[in-house]
Amino acid sequence: MHIMHAMNNLRGIDLNLLVVLEALLAERHVSRAATRLAMSQPAVSHALGRLRTLLDDPLLERAPGGMRPTPRALALAPVLAESLSLARRVVGQDAFVPSESRRHFRMSMSDYGTLVVLPRLLRTLRRLAPGVTLDVVQLSRESAAARVRDGVLDLALGVFPVIPTGVVATRLFVERFVCVGDRRHRAFRGGLTLARYCAAPHALVAVRGLDGGDALSEIDTALAAIGRTRRVVTVWPHFLPAPRLVLGTDLLLTIAERTVSEQPPDPELAVHTLPFEVAPFSFVAVHRPDALEDEGRSWLLQQIMTASRGSSRGAARGAPQRKPKRETKR
């Protein structure tokens, strides 16, 4: 009963505790939250104890590598984010001056995103907002979208075939798949045909927990539509090294084009247009519907959009790019 009384009497609550809770939910680690808040670790631990008493819930529980929010904490997260955003607007903290800001942003993206967006974004941040800090994590689509919705993450960059409830997406660019392999691969002799593509063994990038199956189903759904299949013999967790891993093997790899074009060209690597139709896909930034009302998040999203427009298009130099050959019936 005394808890309900305290919650109904704001004069009896230290509202700074909510800022600590925000940091703890974002960092999921007492030491990292303390660093983020410029507080001592004991002070953050003491604040967490007060929050647990106030809200009558553990809020965060020990887990491998940090702490795990309780269901009650996850339910509170979106309300907390909205409340603190309104409070900051009331006291005039909503104004965002990049050159003076000490904002801390958190985003989720795969190593593909770090390749095509992050280099240009970091150069912009260091030049225009040197006091801004940025954490990048790699989460599944569902986890990333949920944490954006709950206010734990500012943005999530990636491929979201279905936009989850509670978030919206801003398209950054449209991407397509290409086929890569060792330039001496026999499937490339005379041009890559559908029959040669399907006969070759394939590698697949499918990061565990990142819905890598989507990449598999997209390609295989397109093949199934024309009565074909392929054989995947190996699965890898990272996009960046994947094109080079097929060198010296009989493997073909179907991958997003910028994974190749954004890296230094390798004369040993051949890049070919797929010999069948696969729809292009959108790379997007997922954010809360009210994100653009926050000057800092709005500015960050604008810089990400600019950085994305700077990503190159087309196959790497030195790698042959051929149009698909129509397969003749045998």
Q: Is the pLDDT of residue 1 over 70?
A: no
Distances (CA, A) of 212 to 205, 216, 282: 7, 7, 16
pTM here is: 0.67
Residue 52's pLDDT is what?
92
Residue 10's pLDDT is what?
60
Tens digits of per-residue pLDDT, 147-203? 998 888 999 999 988 888 889 999 999 999 999 999 999 999 999 999 999 999 999
Name all domains of the chain by residue range, CATH numbers in brackets: 1-94 (1.10.10.10), 174-280 (3.40.190.10)
Least Cα distance to 17 among 101, 83, 107 occurs for 83
